[in-house]
Structure 1
Amino acid sequence: MIAGRVEGLSDDGLGIVRAKKKPVFIPFTYPGDYVEVHGTKRRFGRLLARDFALLEHSPLRQRPRCLHFGKCGGCLWQGLKYGAQLELKGELFERITGINAPIKGSPKIWGFRNVSNFIVTTEGIGLKEYGNPLGVVDLKECPVFSKRTPEYLRSLTGFLRETGLSPWNLRAKSGEVHYIQVREGKFTGEVMVNLIAHVEPSREVREAFKDYFSFATSLYWSLKADERDDPRGEATLVKGKPYIREHIRDVTYLIHPNSFFQTNSYALPLLLKAVEGFTGGEKVLDLYSGVGTFGVYLAKRGFRVEGIEINPFAVEMANRNARINDVSATFKVGRAEETPIGDYDTVIVDPPRKGLKEVAELLVKSGIEKIVYVSCNPKAFKLDYERHLKKAYRIENALLIDMFPHTPHVEAVVELRRRLGF
Structure 2
Amino acid sequence: MKLTGRIGSISDDGLGVLKVENREFYVPFTYPGDVVSVKKAKRRFGRKIATDFVLIKESSIRQAPRCSHFGTCGGCLWQGLKYREQLRLKAEVFERITGIEAEIKGSPKIWGFRNVSNFIVATSGTGLKEYGNPLGVVNLVECPVFSKRTARYLRALRDFMEETQVRPWNLRKKTGGVHYLQVKESKFTGEVMVNLIAHVDPPDEILEAFRDYFSFSDSLYWSLKTDERDDPRGEPRLVAGRHYIRERVEDVTYLIHPNSFFQTNSYALPLLMKAVEDFADGERVLDLYSGVGTFGVWLAKRGFEVAGVEVNPFAVEMARKNAELNGVSATFHVGRAEETPIGDYDTVIVDPPRKGLREVGELLAKSSVERVVYISCNPKAFRLDYERHLKKSYRIENAILIDMFPHTPHVEAVLMLEKK
TM-score over 0.5 for the alignment? yes
2:270 is the alignment partner of 1:266: no
Task: Give the match for residue 63 of structure 1.
Answer: 64
2:411 is the alignment partner of 1:410: yes
* Structure 1: distance between partners of 2:71 and 2:360: 40
Identity level (%): 73
Query: Considering only aligned residues, what root-mean-square deviation do their CA atoms show, in Å?
Result: 0.4
Q: CA deviation at 1:272?
A: 0.0
Task: Give the match for residue 99 of structure 2.
Answer: 98
Q: CA deviation at 1:22?
A: 2.9
5 Å-filtered alignment, 1:214-225, equals 214-225=215-226
5 Å-filtered alignment, 1:162-173, equals 162-173=163-174
Task: Give the match for residue 203 of structure 1.
Answer: 204
Task: Give the match for residue 295 of structure 1.
Answer: 296
* Structure 2: distance between partners of 1:228 and 1:21: 40
5 Å-filtered alignment, 1:319-334, equals 319-334=320-335
Q: CA deviation at 1:20?
A: 2.4
* Structure 1: distance between partners of 2:102 and 2:4: 35
* Structure 1: distance between partners of 2:93 and 2:273: 23
Stretch moving more, 124-133 or 15-24? 15-24
Q: Deviations over 1:3-34 (max 9, x none)?
A: 10000010000000002243100000000000
Task: Give the match for residue 29 of structure 1.
Answer: 30
Give the counterpart letter for 2:400 in structure 1: L
* Structure 1: distance between partners of 2:19 and 2:407: 25
* Structure 1: distance between partners of 2:142 and 2:59: 26
Q: Deviations over 1:43-73 (max 9, x none)?
A: 0110000000000000000000000000000
* Structure 2: distance between partners of 1:259 and 1:144: 21
* Structure 2: distance between partners of 1:31 and 1:363: 40
Give the counterpart letter for 1:41 in structure 2: K
Give the counterpart letter for 2:292 in structure 1: V
SS of the equivalent of 1:182 reads: strand
Give the counterpart letter for 1:324 in structure 2: L
SS of the equivalent of 1:314 reads: helix
Give the counterpart letter for 1:379 in structure 2: K
Task: Give the match for residue 153 of structure 1.
Answer: 154
Task: Give the match for residue 343 of structure 1.
Answer: 344
Q: CA deviation at 1:279?
A: 0.1
5 Å-filtered alignment, 1:6-25, equals 6-25=7-26
Task: Give the match for residue 177 of structure 1.
Answer: 178
* Structure 1: distance between partners of 2:407 and 2:400: 19
Task: Give the match for residue 282 of structure 1.
Answer: 283
Task: Give the match for residue 247 of structure 2.
Answer: 246
Q: Deviations over 1:166-207 (max 9, x none)?
A: 000111110000000000000000000000000111000000
* Structure 2: distance between partners of 1:22 and 1:307: 50
Q: CA deviation at 1:328?
A: 1.4
Q: CA deviation at 1:148?
A: 0.2
* Structure 2: distance between partners of 1:345 and 1:196: 43
Give the counterpart letter for 2:21 in structure 1: K
* Structure 2: distance between partners of 1:180 and 1:17: 38
5 Å-filtered alignment, 1:180-191, equals 180-191=181-192
SS of the equivalent of 2:381 reads: helix
Task: Give the match for residue 85 of structure 1.
Answer: 86
Contact 1:197 1:222 in 2 (8 A): yes
* Structure 2: distance between partners of 1:124 and 1:46: 29
* Structure 1: distance between partners of 2:186 and 2:102: 31
Contact 1:22 1:47 in 2 (8 A): no
* Structure 1: distance between partners of 2:381 and 2:261: 20
* Structure 1: distance between partners of 2:184 and 2:363: 36
Give the counterpart letter for 1:413 in structure 2: V
2:393 is the alignment partner of 1:392: yes
5 Å-filtered alignment, 1:351-366, equals 351-366=352-367
Contact 1:89 1:410 in 2 (8 A): yes
SS of the equivalent of 1:58 reads: coil
Contact 1:16 1:25 in 2 (8 A): yes
Give the counterpart letter for 1:63 in structure 2: A
Q: Which 5+ residue runs of structure 2 have no aligned equivalent?
A: none
* Structure 2: distance between partners of 1:342 and 1:158: 56
Give the counterpart letter for 1:3 in structure 2: T
TM-score (norm 1): 0.99
Contact 1:121 1:170 in 2 (8 A): yes
Q: Which 5+ residue runs of structure 1 have no aligned equivalent?
A: none
Task: Give the match for residue 194 of structure 2.
Answer: 193
Q: Deviations over 1:187-241 (max 9, x none)?
A: 0000000000001110000000000000000000000000000000000100000
Q: Deviations over 1:105-158 (max 9, x none)?
A: 000000000000000001110000000001000000000000000000000000
* Structure 1: distance between partners of 2:306 and 2:237: 32
Give the counterpart letter for 1:197 in structure 2: A
The number of aligned residues is: 419
* Structure 1: distance between partners of 2:137 and 2:255: 32
TM-score (norm 2): 0.99
SS of the equivalent of 1:366 reads: coil
Give the counterpart letter for 1:394 in structure 2: R
Q: Deviations over 1:361-386 (max 9, x none)?
A: 00011110000000000000000001
Give the counterpart letter for 1:122 in structure 2: T
